[in-house]
A = this chain, B = another copy of it.
Amino acid sequence: MEAQIDEILRKNQLSVTGSRKRILELFLMSNGALAHGDIEKKTGEKFDRVTVYRTLQTFLEKGIIHTIPTSDNSVLYALCKDNCSEGHHHDDHVHFICQKCAKTICLADVHIPQVKLPGGFLPHDYQMVVTGLCAACR
């Protein structure tokens, strides 16, 4: 794990620092998505709030994590499974949010189906979020 973390950071030309290692570790451990608040809680007093914001921002720009839209004024982040690169994400998979345990899971194998849009619209990015009950909660 330690080695994996280092590799990810190096591969993205990021210096290996305590906060980056820890936050990346959190993502690798939880197979789901994390909100900014989750990370703050789990890192405790270890890092400044601002550092968490900036680290997430950096990871996002480098394509290490991607965002998942939600309807509740929060943004979720999850590790990019595919080979995303700086500025070019392609996580065209469906996300599932459990209404009971609130876990968000990347369904990496479930691709987002294409839809036909009315004339004039030029689509660029598709997002699909399914809410319901996860296997553990149903």
Picked from B67, B107, B117, B119, the residue with its CB within 8 Å of the CB of A118 is B107
Q: How far is the CB of A56 from chain B (nearest CB, A)?
A: 12
Cβ of A131 under 8 Å from chain B: yes
B120, A110: Cβ atoms closer than 8 Å: no
Cβ of A113 under 8 Å from chain B: yes
Q: A107-B118, A130-B117, A133-B124 are in contact. Are A73 and B73 (CB under 8 A)?
A: yes
B109, A121: Cβ atoms closer than 8 Å: no
| A41-79 interface (Cβ within 8 A of B) | 67-75
Cβ of A135 under 8 Å from chain B: yes
Cβ of A134 under 8 Å from chain B: yes
